[in-house]
């Protein structure tokens, strides 16, 4: 009888949690739709609903779709990374993904010249870059985390060391470049919405859709994984396999986002941290959609204000990274450790 009462109480708590989440995500979806409409239609000087009006909307639509894709990839990747590592302060950049992207771009300019950087632009280049980054993650995780003596902390430490090594190698090669090549390379390495190419979007959305389908199928296992290593094992979860597949999925999503717009170290961290606080639930089936919508609102809202109000679209990622860095330091000081 007592077990039935406890189960009934738990059920009522979950129902209340779902209703609270539904109200909040509905409000967030409305804000997201308003933000999309504002970015698409704000300050168009030609006659509304004319051919010129639709042409401008079509040109802006590629930017909006890029922002939605990047925001969703970053939000899902960081939430999954926090679940796998059991730490909500770490970001995927600690594993050296973005440093690997930088060293790939720098090596192309260093060995083949800046003309190669422009000549190889296309879907094939994005796929190759993403494949290299995912292969790096698979080998690193499979070797370290799947080994006899491997564990998550050693994997994170090796990822941090490799990221530092990649950064040092990139800095060395950049110092050997002529100033003109260095300027062009620097513009590519700086996270910017303008770096994206609409040709990349079908590939990006295909990967994102496959990743979301996979995540939805393992949402309950992710909830168990979030309880920690010992609890997960005691509940019958294959802890190492789940962490390994989750980290590889994170690598896939980060590689797509980085290949589209460049490194964005703290954006996903901001979105995931706010989603934990605002979603009203800790279940992945609630947190992940909420984080995706919150990412879209945050990135689109920042782009609208800076691009259409202050005419400073290039500062979007700068301000987001600046705010994210401050939030990271605040949380680190409050927690006292990683």
Over the stretch 249-290, which tens digit does the pLDDT of each residue have? Answer: 888 888 888 877 777 777 888 888 888 888 888 888 999 999
Q: Given this model, what pLDDT does residue 183 score?
A: 80
C-alpha 165/C-alpha 176 separation (Å) is 17
Q: What is the DSSP string of 38-87?
A: HHHHTT--SPTTSHHHHHHHHHHHHHHHHHHHHHHHHHHHHHHHHHHHT-
Contacts of 267 (CB under 8 A, 6+ apart): 71, 74, 295, 298, 299, 317, 320, 321, 324
Which of residues 166 and 116 earns the better pLDDT score?
A: 166
Residues 6+ apart with CB under 8 A from 219: 283, 284, 285, 288
Mean pLDDT of the chain: 81
The whole-angstrom separation of Cα 292 and Cα 172 is 37
Alpha carbon 200 to chain centroid, angstroms: 16
d(Cα 197, Cα 59) in Å, to the nearest integer?
12
More confident residue, 31 or 308: 31
Q: Is 186 exposed, middle or buried (0-12, 13-18, 19+ CB in 10 A)?
A: exposed
Query: How distant, in Å, are the alpha carbons of 28, 70, 184, 229, 291 from that of 83?
Result: 23, 20, 37, 11, 14
317 vs 42: which has the higher pLDDT: 42
Confidence check: pLDDT of 6 > 70: no
Least confident of 84-88, 195-199, 249-253: 195-199
* pTM of the entire predicted model: 0.84
C-alpha 175/C-alpha 135 separation (Å) is: 28
**Better-scored residue on pLDDT, 321 or 279:** 279
Q: Flag whether pLDDT at 100 surpasses 90.
A: no
Nearest partner of 66 among 200, 263, 267, 187, judged by Cα: 200
Q: Smallest Cα–Cα separation from 287: which of 268, 306, 312, 307? A: 268
Q: Model confidence over 120-177: pLDDT tens digits?
A: 777 777 778 778 777 877 777 767 666 665 566 777 777 778 888 888 888 888 888 8
What is the secondary structure of 85-115 as a DSSP string?
HT-SS--GGGGTHHHHHHHHHHHHHHHH-HH
> How far apart, in whole angstroms, are the C-alpha atoms of residue 215 and residue 283?
12
Rounded to an integer, what distance in angstroms lies between the CA atom of residue 301 and that of residue 31? 10
């Amino acid at each position: 009888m007592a077990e039935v009462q406890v189960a009934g109480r738990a059920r009522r708590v979950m129902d209340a949690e779902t209703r609270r989440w539904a109200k909040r995500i509905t409000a967030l979806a409305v804000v997201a739709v308003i933000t999309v409409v504002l970015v698409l239609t704000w300050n168009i000087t030609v006659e509304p609903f004319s051919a010129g009006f639709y042409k401008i909307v079509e040109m802006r639509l590629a930017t909006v779709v890029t922002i939605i894709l990047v925001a969703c990839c970053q939000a899902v990747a960081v939430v999954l990374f926090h679940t796998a590592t059991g730490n909500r302060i770490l970001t995927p950049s600690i594993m050296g993904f973005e440093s690997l992207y930088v060293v790939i771009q720098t090596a192309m300019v260093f060995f083949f010249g800046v003309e190669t950087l422009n000549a190889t632009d296309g879907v094939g280049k994005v796929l190759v870059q993403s494949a290299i980054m995912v292969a790096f993650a698979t080998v690193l995780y499979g070797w370290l985390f799947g080994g006899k003596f491997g564990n998550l902390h050693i994997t994170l430490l090796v990822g941090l060391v490799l990221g530092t090594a990649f950064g040092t190698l990139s800095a060395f090669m950049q110092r050997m470049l002529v100033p003109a090549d260095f300027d062009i390379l620097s513009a590519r390495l700086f996270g910017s919405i303008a770096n994206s190419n609409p040709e990349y979007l079908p590939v990006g959305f295909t990967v994102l859709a496959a990743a979301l389908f996979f995540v939805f199928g393992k949402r309950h296992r992710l909830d168990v994984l979030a309880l920690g290593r010992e609890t997960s094992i005691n509940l019958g979860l294959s802890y190492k396999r789940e962490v390994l597949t989750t980290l590889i999925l994170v690598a896939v999503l980060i590689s797509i986002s980085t290949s589209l717009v460049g490194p964005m170290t703290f954006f996903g961290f901001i979105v995931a941290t706010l989603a934990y606080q605002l979603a009203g639930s800790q279940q992945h089936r609630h947190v992940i959609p909420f984080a995706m919508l919150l990412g879209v609102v945050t990135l689109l809202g920042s782009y609208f204000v800076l691009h259409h109000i202050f005419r400073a679209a290039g500062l979007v990622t700068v301000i987001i990274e600046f705010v994210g860095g401050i939030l990271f330091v605040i949380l680190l000081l409050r927690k006292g450790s990683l």
